[in-house]
Amino acid sequence: EAREFLKFEPNEILKGKIIVTLFFENSTRTRSSFEIAAKRLGAEVVSLDVSTSSTSKGETIFDTVANINAMKPDAIIIRHSECGLPESLTGYVDCPIINAGDGKHAHPTQALLDLFTIYEHFEGQTEGKKIAIVGDVRNSRVAGSNRRLLPRFGIDVNLVAPDCFKYEGDEFKQFDTIQEIIDDMDIVMSLRSQLERHNITYFESLQEYAKDFCITSELMERKEFLLLHPGPVNRNIDITDEVLKHPRCKVLEQVTNGVAIRASILKKLILEDR
Ligand code: NCD
């Protein structure tokens, strides 16, 4: 269905529906992606400005959401710094709650768009493909959701990080450097260091980190892998300027795919699953 929505043809699938967005953390891509997806399907979007909402007057998030729910929206999209919050709100509302990122925990629509990008590139042949997720795998919710989603499609997940960013579980193979596994990888997903979620300074500078973890032209030439990044990219820390222009770097294609995936999610949750 996402593939159909990639044609970006105008339609009225969600005409008359109202979708509320509640973003308590910063966002460029995810919020506009959801809004554009909703509008492409003919829905109306109400974005609550959380900086001026009553949560800043002492109202709990549960009460804020119960009040929004009392206005009978057709879906609520929420981003918040607290892990598990979107799920715990589901008992307070009658409409679907869509998680647009909850702290370090999960970012399910991002993982779905990543999977869609991989699926299209490999023409559905995801079984047995190997991915290296590189960077702050401990604090990235994008890594969290991809760790849960990609193995269901037969993709072998490998994590590459300095010790301070290593994942705390033991279900995945973990590596110290990208060089030691790159020759075996079909996909590399680079991640931003989640500086806002660290309470101590791990590196003298991000340039130090970049020496070992930045995706360079040398790596691109060594093996023909697909390069993904959820954005925002820290240029020359996560991926070099040159590599960002490389045809196998799919960062902007991921953004386009994100609108199509979110349109499918809105359609399914608002029209089919209730
Ligand atoms: C990510 C996020 O907010 O989780 N960005 C996104 O939604 N595309 C990744 C990040 O902030 O590094």
Give distance in angstroms: CA of 28 to centre of ligand 1: 9
Mean pLDDT of 166-175: 96
Instruction: Verify whether residue 177 is a known catalytic residue.
Output: no
Give residue 208's pLDDT.
Answer: 85
- Region of poorest pLDDT, from 59-63, 136-140, 143-147: 59-63
Instruction: Verify whether residue 64 is a known catalytic residue.
Output: no
**CA 60 to centroid of chain Cα atoms:** 26
Give residue 65's pLDDT.
Answer: 95
pLDDT at 214 over 60: yes
Q: Which of 17, 31, 40, 79 is catalytic?
A: 79
CA-nearest residue, atom 12 of ligand 1: 192
Give distance in angstroms: CA of 231 to centre of ligand 1: 6
Question: Please, are residues 233 and 192 in contact by the beta-carbon 8 Å criterion?
Answer: yes
Give residue 203's pLDDT.
Answer: 75
pLDDT at 181 over 70: yes
Q: Which of 17, 21, 30, 250 is catalytic?
A: 30
Mean pLDDT of 143-164: 97
Of the residues 81, 137, 142, which should be mutated to test ligand 1's pocket, given the most ligand atoms within 8 Å of the CB? 142
Give distance in angstroms: CA of 122 to centre of ligand 1: 24
For residue 5, report the phi and psi dihedrals to the nearest 5 degrees.
-70, -20
CA-nearest residue, atom 8 of ligand 1: 230
pLDDT at 274 over 60: no
CB neighbour class for 236 (10 Å; exposed up to 12, middle 13-18, buried from 19): middle
Question: Please, are residues 238 and 251 in contact by the beta-carbon 8 Å criterion?
Answer: no
Give distance in angstroms: CA of 242 to centre of ligand 1: 22
Q: How many Å from the N-terminal Cα to the C-terminal Cα in the chain?
A: 19
DSSP annotation of 246: S
Give residue 165's pLDDT.
Answer: 94
Give residue 273's pLDDT.
Answer: 65
Mean pLDDT of 132-137: 97
Which ligand 1 atom is nearest residue 192's CA?
12
Q: Which of 7, 57, 72, 245 is catalytic?
A: 57
More confident position, 97 or 55: 97
**CA 56 to centroid of chain Cα atoms:** 27
Mean pLDDT of 40-47: 97
pLDDT at 220 over 70: yes
| Pocket lining for ligand 1, CB < 6 angstroms | 29-30, 101, 107, 110, 141-142, 192, 230-231
Q: At 197, is the pLDDT very low, low, confident or very high (cuts 50, 70, 90)?
A: confident
Give residue 177's pLDDT.
Answer: 95
Q: Which residues contact 106 (CB under 8 A, 6 or more apart)?
A: 83, 99, 141, 144, 145, 148
Instruction: Verify whether residue 141 is a known catalytic residue.
Output: no
Mean pLDDT of 44-68: 87
Give residue 256's pLDDT.
Answer: 98
Of the residues 26, 28, 81, 107, which should be mutated to test ligand 1's pocket, given the most ligand atoms within 8 Å of the CB? 107
pLDDT at 246 over 90: yes
Query: Whole-angstrom Cα distance, residue 223 to residue 186?
Result: 8
pLDDT at 200 over 90: no
Q: Give CA angle at 94 (89, 97), nearest 5°.
A: 45
Give residue 53's pLDDT.
Answer: 74
Region of 267 please: left (phi>0), alpha (psi -120 to 50) or beta. alpha
Please state, for a pLDDT cut of 90, what percent of the chain lies above it: 86
Question: Please, are residues 215 and 243 in contact by the beta-carbon 8 Å criterion?
Answer: yes
Mean pLDDT of 148-154: 98
Q: Which of 17, 31, 105, 107 is catalytic?
A: 107
**CA 273 to centroid of chain Cα atoms:** 23
User: Tens of pLDDT along 69-80?
Assistant: 999 999 999 999
Instruction: Verify whether residue 57 is a known catalytic residue.
Output: yes
Round the average pLDDT of the chain to a whole number and report it: 95
What's the Cα-to-Cα distance from 120 to each of 38, 61, 117, 243, 250, rounded to whole Å? 23, 38, 5, 21, 12
Instruction: Verify whether residue 248 is a known catalytic residue.
Output: no
Give residue 10's pLDDT.
Answer: 84
Give distance in angstroms: CA of 166 to centre of ligand 1: 18
**CA 6 to centroid of chain Cα atoms:** 18
- What three-state secondary structure class fits 167? coil
